[in-house]
Structure 1
């Protein structure tokens, strides 16, 4: 039952990132509310409202039908316009920044809420319109209160549309995109740091362990840790997870190593706790934020965009993320309540993440003195921070040396070279003791 719950929770977290999730949910609510109002109209709610507040209720069938038809058509128009603006936003973000930022923009809940309000109101007005009896009947009571609610919901739609225009104009600004990416990665890193043990237990050597292969293809997002711990305890085994979280895993490649040979049913049970997806989400994989921010900064330096300011902003955000990453261990070992190491998770180590980021900046920004200076300032700041492992500072100095060598080969002006050399030599050296 617990395994089923975790799988259901993982599935819900995945579909919540889809642009159609909340609009669909709101549409169902709008339809059900329309059915509820039709039921209440049969019970005489409009007659009660007319008796006490007659000014609020429309009691003419032709007027009600015309008004609802007009309002529904208006909502459809602004909904089409809103969807068109979303497409323009996604196209512009993909062209100017990076296609990798699209999942974050698509999963913006506020925009989904607005589209959901549109759809819910359209469905409510449509079914309320269907419930109006066009025939003259002295015993027939027009659903005036339902029509009133339709008018109120339409006014709410107009307000949501104004908010949507404001929000979408803010969402396309590169500073807001960088800030959203940074905040998601920061929250994820802080969550991992809270759960991380100060000194993770030693995990046994896995070189002679049996490997088992993936049965799915997709981005490896997350695992159901509690279920895997229960399996390890039940069968007295230890598991090493081979792919790095967020990496694209192909079918029939090694995905786990187990301390002893297990049957196919147990393999299937273990792999059922792995969540694969076709998209990438920073909420599941903080390393993706380094990639996205780097791509935005590098693309800003392309001849077609030529925006060094955005590249410098991206370095500022990377500096803060790297400073937070310095506090995390490169090894992730999950233990039981008795402190016995059961699961080893392969993670992107600090040196590799830093190298991948810097290789892009060294390639595309080595001609721009302002970006080079900003990178050396980043190195200096990181070297002043207390690392979880001393090797982190050695990796930073190695990247600083590579950047200095590339800069000397690229920049010809001696004054610029002297300035860069001064920054390089001012970097604090790690303590030997």
Structure 2
């Protein structure tokens, strides 16, 4: 039952990121509401409304048909405009910032709910329209259904105004960076909290896996989610340790070794393990904090490309990277999980050294010619060098190495000697 719940939750998180999820859901609700209202009209709900509030009832069927037709045509127009606006802004975000941002922008619930409101209202009005004849009199019209249709139309107009406001806000780079940062921060803090609770020397006691039994996956994809509780329980029950050789968020090839087991596994046991691992063709920051580093780095690199040349955006991106790296330094580099004071599971991870080098290599390549950005990167590395680390002083050695590499690239790229002297003075390092 637990496994089924996890798989359903993972499936829901995946489809929730699709732009058509909430519009489809609300469209079904609008369709069902139309039939519910038809049933209520048969029960005489409009006659009750006519007796209590006759001023809310329209006079004849022709007027109602005209109003309802105008409402449908108007909502279709603003829905088409809204969808066109979404596609245009997504295209701009992809070209100006990074294509990796698209899943996060598409999965914005607010925009999906607004588009779903349009679609639900159109479907509702169309089915209500079927029940109205031009020669219907006031007492035979489905008054409550018509009144609700008008209310929904007004709601769509208000939603359209909010949609324009929300899209103009969501496409701003500061808001994009904020969104990425807080999602990854929440994920990182959750991971580091769990590691601090399990602080023990056992976290470093995992045997070598060179001679273990290796197994492949039957279908490739991005290693997105895993049920740690179920797999560690499996390891304990079957008295075997497991090593997952591909880091989370990376693409797992179909014929590449992925699972290593201390003891030989049967096909049924291997299937149980794979049932608790989710593979996908996309990835989200909520599932993998590494993606946040990639996205923010790509935003900075894109901003410093010759076609865009936006140092301000690059500086903002470096500020967010600084905070994320500081959080990452509180996390260990072993990827070992405990159960009942024994290390049963180990997952390959992107080490701090690899993560820092990957980000800095891209930033150095595109920022080394700009003295202001070089100073900003030096400041970031110096800030990280004095942060608290998780029992791993190698982190500070990695930072010192990156400072040396940055200064070496800057010295060869800065044409003005005065710029180089200022950068060298700030770094307080002989180069």
Q: Work out which of the residue numbers 344, 349, 352 in structure 1 matches 2:351.
A: 349
The question of 1:8 aligning with 2:2 is answered: no
**1:176 CA drift (Å):** 1.1
1:426 deviates by 6.0
Structure 1 CA distance, aligned partners of 2:424 and 2:204?
A: 42
Pair 1:38 & 2:38 matched: yes
The 8 Å contact of residues 58 and 143 in structure 2, kept in 1 or not, is answered as: yes
Which structure 1 residue ranges, 4+ long, deviate > 6 Å from structure 2? none
Report the Cα distance in structure 2 between the residues aligned to 1:157 and 1:190, rounded to whole angstroms: 39
Check if 1:208 corresponds to 2:211. yes
The answer to whether the Cα contact below 8 Å between 1:222 and 1:275 also exists between their aligned partners in 2 is yes
Coordinate RMSD, CA, aligned:
1.5
Q: What residue number does 2:179 align with? A: 180
Matched, 1:416 2:415: no
Aligned counterpart for 1:219 among listed residues 208, 219, 222: 222
* Post-superposition offset of 1:45: 0.5
SS of structure 2 residue aligned to 1:254: coil
Aligned equivalent of 2:108: 108
Residue aligned with 1:418, SS: helix
Q: Quickly say closer, same or farther: Cα 1:379–1:127, change in 2 above 3 A.
A: same
8 Å contact kept, 1:59–1:144: no
Alignment partner of 1:277 is 2:280? yes
Alpha-carbon shift at residue 125 of structure 1 (Å)? 0.8
Pairwise CA distance, 1:415: 1.2
Residue in structure 1 matching 2:409, options 401, 406, 411? 406
How far residue 59 of structure 1 moved from its aligned partner, in angstroms, is: 4.4
State the distance in 2 between where 1:135 and 1:265 align.
69
- Contact kept? 2:68, 2:129, Cα under 8 Å: yes
Distance 1:79 1:136, change over 3 A: closer
Q: CA deviation at 1:191?
A: 1.2
**2:341 matched to 1:339?**
yes
Count residues in correspondence: 425
Alignment partner, residue 29 of structure 2: 29
Secondary structure of residue in 1 paired with 2:258: strand
TM-superposed CA distance for 1:230, in Å, is 3.0
2:290 paired with 1:287 = yes
Query: Deviation of residue 418 (structure 1)?
Result: 1.1
- Cα distance in 2, alignment partners of residues 364 and 123 from structure 1: 51
CA distance in structure 1 between the aligned counterparts of 2:149 and 2:136, rounded to whole angstroms = 22
Partner of 1:360: 362
> Is the CA contact 1:58–1:148 (under 8 Å) kept in the aligned structure 2?
no
- Alignment deviations for residues 258-315 of structure 1 (CA, whole Å, 9 cap, x no partner): 1100111221221122111111210011011111101110111111111111111111
Q: TM-score, normalised by structure 2?
A: 0.96
The match for 2:376 is 374
CA contact (8 A) 1:358 1:399 kept: yes
Q: Which residue of 2 aligns with 1:317?
A: 320
In 1, the alpha carbon distance for the partners of 2:54 and 2:231 equals: 64
Shift of 1:332: 2.0
Secondary structure of the structure 1 residue equivalent to 2:140: coil
Match of 1:243 among 230, 241, 246: 246
* Offset of residue 137 of structure 1: 8.3
Cα displacement string for residues 18-56 of structure 1 (whole angstroms, at most 9, x for unaligned residues): 111111111111111111111111101100010101111
Instruction: Supply the distance in 2 between the matched residues of 1:69 and 1:233 (Cα, whole angstroms).
Output: 66
- Is the CA contact 1:19–1:106 (under 8 Å) kept in the aligned structure 2? yes
Alignment deviations for residues 233-262 of structure 1 (CA, whole Å, 9 cap, x no partner): 332222111111111111121111111001
Q: Distance in 1 between matches of 2:14 and 2:114?
A: 20
Is the 2:241–2:262 Cα contact (8 Å) retained in structure 1? Answer: yes
Q: Which position in structure 2 is the counterpart of 1:430?
A: none
- Counterpart Cα distance in 2 of 1:306 and 1:47: 67
Q: TM-score, normalised by structure 1?
A: 0.95
* 1:58 counterpart = 2:65: no
1:220 Cα offset (Å): 1.0
